[in-house]
Amino acid sequence: MTVRFVHGIEPGFRGQLVRVLRCRGARSRRIADALDPIELEVAGEHRLAARIEPPAVRNVALEQADFTLRQHPG
């Protein structure tokens, strides 16, 4: 699953996402792994905990970056 964060992002979380977006390689992955899992509500019925993966495309605005999500066990 991919997700794009467009608006209404809490400033602290926005800063963390920008760091993941701006860093490269292993450093970007370590920053992403350090983030708490996010919780998604799908169709108003199901909840899914997921971890953010660094995006494949960098050097774009946060609102244009597609982050991959992987399901978080638990």
In DSSP notation, 24-50 reads -HHHHHHHHHHSPPEEEEETTTEEEEE
| 61, 73, 45, 38 alpha-carbon torsion, rounded to 10° | -30
pTM of the model: 0.81
- Which residue stretches of the chain have pLDDT < 70? 74
pLDDT in tens, 35-47: 999 888 877 778 8
Other C-beta atoms lying within 10 Å of the C-beta of residue 24: 9
What are the residues whose beta carbons fall under 8 Å from the beta carbon of 65, sequence distance 6 or more? 4, 5, 17, 21, 55, 57, 58
What are the sequence ranges of the domains in the chain?
2-71
